[in-house]
A = this chain, B = another copy of it.
């Protein structure tokens, strides 16, 4: 889907190359998988899920490109290859990120998304709120401000809920919103599930930054400590962090117990997120 969308001859060649470079470079696609898993749990049509999954991956890619910039985390390696501004240049990387964010809203509002107008409205609102100043961008701002400052556990959770959790939660909820029949109770259950795995994702990220190697991660390891960033291991200890991840996993599984057999993929994804090695 993304490969097909990111081919327009009307996009300047260098910009398109930079957009494709970061979006089609084989990330874990966890957000797209969450869209499909949540959508399948409530019998949403595939064409709609394709569009929403593509939009989520565009937003995720844009956020990685901008987070890696020299004035932000100044990272040179991502998914085992040079970051966007290293492969291209800073201006191109900023523009590729801007374009991918905008592309997300183009995708969901196109006729090809097959979303009903009222579904589009809810999904557009959820995406924008989750990605914007009170969500992901706000979380990145808090992260920038937290360098070399010790955060409390509450502050750390607040930062991660925005920076990573909001978009993960949006993936699950927007997948469900593609369905013509999704009860409020199901949305509530999915929201609980999403909040648990969203936080678990970050806790595991922090653990991997301590325990794993640059080679396995495909991005620089030990970065948090080098940048003087608060992490779960530094704040509550490594073993306690692993216990927290396990508890969040159990909580996620419990949240979706009432949804039925179609929720099997959601359970598998929760496991993937907590047990992953990179």
Chain A residues with a Cβ under 8 A of chain B: 8, 10-12, 14-16, 19, 62, 66, 69, 71-72, 89-92, 94-95, 97-99, 101-103, 105-106, 108-110, 117-118, 120-121, 124-125, 127-129, 131-134, 137-138, 140-142, 144-145
Q: How far is the CA of A14 from the CA of B142 in the complex (A)?
A: 9
- Closest CB pairs A-B (n = 9): A117-B117, A71-B90, A102-B132, A106-B128, A109-B124, A99-B133, A10-B134, A109-B125, A105-B128
Bound-state CA distance A134–B9 (Å) is 9
With A11-B134, A99-B138, A105-B127 known, 18 other A-B pairs at CB within 8 A are A10-B133, A15-B133, A15-B141, A66-B95, A71-B90, A71-B91, A72-B91, A94-B94, A95-B137, A95-B140, A95-B144, A97-B98, A98-B101, A103-B132, A103-B133, A106-B132, A109-B124, A117-B120
Given contacts A16-B133, A92-B141, contact A128 B109 (CB under 8 A): yes
- Asked if residues B69 and A94 are in contact (CB atoms below 8 Å), the reply is yes
B contact residues around A89 at 8 Å (CB): 71
Q: How distant is the Cα of A72 from the Cα of B140 in the complex, in angstroms?
A: 22
Among candidates B12, B90, B133, B144, residue contacting A141 with C-beta atoms closer than 8 Å? B12
Of all chain B residues, the one with the shortest Cβ separation from A90 is: B71
Inter-chain contact A134/B8, CB cutoff 8 Å: yes
Look across to chain B and name the residue whose beta carbon is closest to the beta carbon of A85: B71
How far does the alpha carbon of A2 sit from the alpha carbon of B92 in the complex, in Å? 30
Q: Is the CB of A117 within 8 A of B109?
A: no
CA distance A158 to B69 in the complex (A): 29
* A15, A102, A132: most-surrounded residue (chain B CB, <10 A): A102
- The answer for the CA separation of A47 and B90 in the assembled complex, in Å, is 39
A131 touches B117 (CB 8 A): no
Judging by beta carbons under 8 Å apart, are A102 and B101 in contact?
yes
> B66 to A94, Cβ gap below 8 A?
yes
Residues in B neighbouring A133, C-beta threshold 8 A = 8, 10-12, 15-16, 19, 99, 102-103
A274 → B minimal CB distance (Å) = 28
- A177 CB, nearest partner CB in chain B, Å: 12
B142 near A99 with CB under 8 A, answer no
Q: Is the CB of B144 within 8 A of A91?
A: yes
Cα A118 to Cα B117 in complex, Å, equals: 6
What is the CB-to-nearest-CB distance from A237 to chain B, in angstroms, rounded to a whole number? 28
Complex CA–CA separation, A45 to B141 (angstroms) = 36
